Amino acid sequence: MRAFTVPGTGAMASVTDRPVPRPGPGELRLKIEACGLNFADLLMEQGKYQDMPEPPFTLGMEVAGVVDALGPDVEGPSPGTRVAVFGGQGGLAEFGCFPAKRTVPLPDGMSATHAAAFQVAYGTSHVALHHRAQMQPGETLLVLGAAGGVGLTAVEVGKLMGATVIACARGADKLEIAAKAGADHVIDATSDDIRARVKALGGADVVYDPVGGEQWQAAFRVCKPEARLLPIGFASGEVPQIPANHLMVKNLSVLGVYWGGYLKFRPEVVTDSIRTLLGWYAEGRLKPHVSHVLPLERARDGLELLRARKSTGKVVITP
């Protein structure tokens, strides 16, 4: 089979021929139909991700496909079932073996492309806003990087939860996409004064930040008392420092969010969230935005789209 594999520490991934894997205890094998790319794939290739596998390994954290075989003593889902799964790695290939207990059956009518673009982005936003921030209807949510993979889902999920959503992104095209996803107000990070604009809108109760850097600093200064700040990632390359005295003065809370971490110590947080989100999808309340669908041979191009911030929503690879 073909797989987009990192051969060693610090080496760049490439498409190579590898043996079709056999599922072990607790695993099933998927014939992979689609794999969603994440910024974490870039970090993993660079050896900078917080949860690194030992090389060689195949990139690709979240996939959708058809169950092809079951490992020893695995009772289901049965071969032929369409499922999605967050495996953490192994998705950019024609076949992959993943923990059976993590698989999620797909609703009727959900395409493999949408399923592969769904779990990490929507799951991160829902767990962040519902479980971590416990955001309430009527609160104001500021979303940075609002046209990106996770940011756009935060706009959608925040609006469904009853928030007034302020979306911050780069350029008119991206702001238009955020507005279509439900943003009440938009801010152009390339030309607008984020601090002044949000302050004029009354400040933020919740800040959702996958960017870091200067945008975090601006958002930090427009928080209302008892606001909650959610660091999701650091696409700017700069991990912000947090002045504890400012937290104290405004009674602010900074709540770290690593969606994949819950699979290790509280998996029910993830499974309950995904169940809710799939229900919303089945009702037509969530509409995944996929800006690029590329074949496996162009996986490198897909990663470059993320690196250069030229994609909106998700990039999906179809082996």
**For position 245, what pLDDT does the model report?**
92
Ramachandran quadrant class, 284 (left: phi over 0; alpha: psi -120 to 50; beta: rest): left
**For position 112, what pLDDT does the model report?**
96
Sheet holding 204-209, edge to edge: 185-188, 164-169, 140-144, 204-209, 223-231, 253-254
Query: Number of helices and strands (H, E) in the chain?
Result: 11, 16
pLDDT tens digits along 242-295: 989 989 999 999 999 999 899 889 989 998 999 899 999 999 999 999 999 999
- The residue with tokens 């990192």 is 6
Average pLDDT over every residue of 139-149: 96
Q: SS3 letters for 92-151?
A: CECEEEEEHHHCEECCCCCCHHHHHCCHHHHHHHHHHHHHHCCCCCCCEEEEECCCCCCH
Contact 71, 27 (CB under 8 A): yes
Mean pLDDT of the chain: 95
**For position 36, what pLDDT does the model report?**
97
**For position 43, what pLDDT does the model report?**
92
Secondary structure (3-state) at 61: coil
Quick one: tokens of 2? Answer: 């073909």
Q: What is the pTM of this model?
A: 0.89
Among residues 242, 236, 192, the alpha carbon closest in space to that of 213 is found at 236
**For position 235, what pLDDT does the model report?**
86
Contact 216, 240 (CB under 8 A): yes
Whole-angstrom distance, CA of residue 103 vs CA of residue 83: 6
Please report the sign of the dihedral spanned by the C-alpha atoms of residue 159, residue 146, residue 310, residue 2: negative
**For position 268, what pLDDT does the model report?**
92
Could you give all domains of the chain from N- to C-terminal order, each with its CATH number? Answer: 2-118+288-318 (3.90.180.10), 122-259 (3.40.50.720)
Please report the sign of the dihedral spanned by the C-alpha atoms of residue 89, residue 95, residue 96, residue 100: positive
pLDDT tens digits along 146-197: 999 999 999 999 999 999 999 999 999 999 999 999 999 999 999 999 999 9
Quick one: tokens of 151? Answer: 């940011």
pLDDT tens digits along 85-131: 999 999 999 999 999 999 999 998 999 999 999 999 999 999 999 99
Sort strands 2-6 and 290-295 into parallel, antiparallel or unpaired.
unpaired
Judge whether residue 241 has pLDDT over 90.
Answer: no
**β strands within the chain, DSSP E:** 2-6, 14-17, 27-36, 57-58, 62-70, 82-86, 95-99, 104-105, 140-144, 164-169, 185-188, 204-209, 223-231, 253-254, 290-295, 314-318
**For position 121, what pLDDT does the model report?**
95
Judge whether residue 200 has pLDDT over 90.
Answer: yes
Q: What are phi and psi of 214, to 5 degrees?
A: -65, -35
Whole-angstrom distance, CA of residue 206 vs CA of residue 140: 6
Percent of the chain whose pLDDT exceeds 90:
90
pLDDT tens digits along 297-306: 999 999 999 9
Whole-angstrom distance, CA of residue 132 vs CA of residue 135: 8
Q: Would you place residue 9 in the very low, low, confident or very high pLDDT band (cuts 50, 70, 90)?
A: confident
**For position 236, what pLDDT does the model report?**
87
**For position 76, what pLDDT does the model report?**
85
- The residue with tokens 């870039």 is 42
Q: What are phi and psi of 124, to 5 degrees?
A: -60, -45
